[in-house]
Amino acid sequence: MSHFWIYIGADTSKSNWSKVGKTAKGLKGRHTSSQNPGYHIQTAFNIISGDVHKIERELLNYIETLPGVERLRHVSTGSKSECFSVPPSEMANIVEYFIEHNYPSSVNYEALHDRMCRYELNSNAKNQNKPLKLSPNCYRPGNNEVYESDLGGGHFIDHETGKEGYRDEEGNVYWKY
């Protein structure tokens, strides 16, 4: 995985707000905001080749041209921000569409169905009233295939490993040996 990312930021108190940004130093430094305690990364796309700065610049210009999309301006200067009046889930689809059609070789694809890989906030993690850390407990690949069969009562068979497991209400998995 490279340290170059295009990401969609969200705010827990604003459902119709998203920020589109880039980083060349990994997601950890972009995951929080000292000015906004409800800010977090909702979705991120790992840029494995190409100029992340150019991709972001063209992406922001593209988003601004879409009908019904409002690009917000900084109150103090009036200059354009990286923020939009668009729900984060919708913005993730817009960003994915742009990358797919303009920079398809800049990202990884899921092998089975050839869909673009994305790193997404796990919806269960957001509802647990715990800190959202950049970890597998809170984030997951957004479109990876799940190869398991539900046996009922939280029990399942993982077809990739052949193991039987149990998933509790908090999403923790326990394997039967």
| Identity of residue 103 | Y
Query: Distance between CA 75 and CA 81 in Å, rounded?
Result: 10
- pLDDT digits 0-9 by tens, 32-80: 554 677 788 888 888 999 999 999 999 999 999 999 999 999 999 999 9
**Crossing angle for the helix pair 88-102 and 52-65, to the nearest 10 degrees:** 120
Query: Distance between CA 168 and CA 170 in Å, rounded?
Result: 5
Query: What strands lie across the sheet with 71-73, from one edge to the other?
Result: 71-73, 80-84, 14-23, 5-11, 39-46, 119-121, 139-141
The answer, yes or no, to whether residue 136 has pLDDT greater than 50, is no
Q: Pull the structure tokens for residue 58.
A: 């063209």
- pLDDT digits 0-9 by tens, 88-126: 999 999 999 999 999 999 988 766 556 777 777 765 555
Looking at the structure, tell me whether residues 123 and 167 fall in a common domain.
no
Looking at the structure, tell me whether residues 121 and 44 fall in a common domain.
yes
Looking at the structure, tell me whether residues 130 and 151 fall in a common domain.
no
Residue with tokens 């077809």, as numbered in its chain: 159
Looking at the structure, tell me whether residues 53 and 99 fall in a common domain.
yes
Looking at the structure, tell me whether residues 80 and 159 fall in a common domain.
no
Query: Distance between CA 86 and CA 11 in Å, rounded?
Result: 12
Looking at the structure, tell me whether residues 140 and 151 fall in a common domain.
no
**Helix/strand/coil for 89:** helix
Looking at the structure, tell me whether residues 62 and 109 fall in a common domain.
yes
Looking at the structure, tell me whether residues 140 and 156 fall in a common domain.
no
- How many domains is the chain built from? 2
The predicted model scores a pTM of 0.71
Q: Pull the structure tokens for residue 164.
A: 């039987």
Looking at the structure, tell me whether residues 12 and 53 fall in a common domain.
yes
Looking at the structure, tell me whether residues 81 and 162 fall in a common domain.
no
Looking at the structure, tell me whether residues 95 and 139 fall in a common domain.
yes
Domain range for residue 156?
147-177
Query: Distance between CA 147 and CA 154 in Å, rounded?
Result: 15
